[in-house]
Amino acid sequence: MKYLYSHYIILYICVMRKCSQFESLKIIDVIEEEYSCELHAQDHFEIIYIHYGCGGHVFNEVTIPYEKGDLFLLAPGDRHYFTVKTVTRFTYIKFTSSYFETYDRSYKSFSREITPTSIMEIQWLKEDKITVSEPCQTILKNIFENIILYNSTINVLRSSIVYYHILSIFGMIKEYIENRNIELKKKTPTNAHIAAYIQENISNRDCISINMIADNFNISPSYFSTYFKRNFEISYKEYIEKMQLQLIKRRLETGEIKLKEIADEFGFTDVSHLSKFFKRHEGINPSAYKNVGK
């Protein structure tokens, strides 16, 4: 069952899993027992707030659990859907870039370098959920309730009050980012940047752990493996093991480095662990490989 709290006709077209919006701003407040829209992309920005309920937000094939108070961001071209576990109330603020152009001066004064639409394009923000603590949690809830109230009685497209409420949401997101000590202007990394980082830290297991490398490149840890495989066409684990294997073989081929030294260099607990790893990939143990090279 679904209940809509929108008090005007919504021009919203879903064709071939692509949702198009022709208004610069649209507010939708809905309660759902089952998510009514399958996997889709849109040509507009979306801020999605969870009033209550739990389930999962599926973005780029990764499911991010959601619960009361969570916030999600989407930009044009993003593909997603929700899986509803318990009855959930969603509020969607859907807007196009032209919405902020109506309030050009205040939009630009938000930040000299960072704008609301540029925040919506930050990849790691979209790959995760935004969760704030008190008192921001209550403030955020009240902001959405106020916007919904205005939407039921007036034309939100012409409301300065609604505009500044939306701007305050971005102010809260900006503060959320700053509290995590992450550069707002940081761009999505290239494959070359990621590969260089791995090569530099291949012998440091902590640095090449998913949590560490994901944090270094501002990518959600839960999404990093999918992101890596999509860009490198190989799993992260397999990529690391292949690189380690090539370097270990080089060490063995010199005939000058002891197995214990190699095990220590690449973070293996002992020579036995190194031998099992090597034999699994090469079919022989490292000692035998070392002797073959002589």
Query: Would you say residue 16 has pLDDT above 50?
Result: no
Question: Span 29-36, mean pLDDT?
Answer: 82
Query: Would you say residue 58 has pLDDT above 80?
Result: yes
Alpha helices in 29-68, H assignment, sequence order: none
Same domain (yes/no): 229, 242: no
For position 110, what pLDDT does the model report?
53
Both tokens assigned to 254? 């010199």
One-letter amino acid for residue 134 of the chain: E
Kindly calculate the radius of gyration of the chain based on its CA atoms and give it in whole angstroms.
Answer: 25
Range of the domain at 48: 2-179
Pick from 28, 27, 82, 31: nearest CA to 52: 31
Same domain (yes/no): 229, 244: no
Same domain (yes/no): 23, 160: yes
Same domain (yes/no): 174, 224: no
**21 or 61: which leads in pLDDT:** 61
Angstrom CA distances, 263 to 124, 203, 277, stand at 35, 10, 10
CA distance 283 to 289: 10
Q: Of the given ranges (27-31, 57-61, 92-96), which has the lowest mean pLDDT? A: 57-61
pLDDT tens-place string over residues 173-222 = 988 887 776 655 555 677 778 888 888 888 888 888 998 898 888 777 87
pLDDT tens-place string over residues 64-106 = 899 999 999 988 878 888 989 999 999 999 988 778 766 655 5
pTM over 0.95: no
For position 275, what pLDDT does the model report?
86
Query: Is residue 8 assigned to a domain?
Result: yes
Same domain (yes/no): 226, 241: no
CA distance 63 to 239: 23
CA distance 37 to 40: 8
**What is the band of 263 on the pLDDT scale with cuts at 50, 70, 90?**
confident
Same domain (yes/no): 86, 218: no
pLDDT tens-place string over residues 143-168 = 999 999 988 887 887 788 889 999 99
The CATH number of residue 21's host domain is: 2.60.120.10
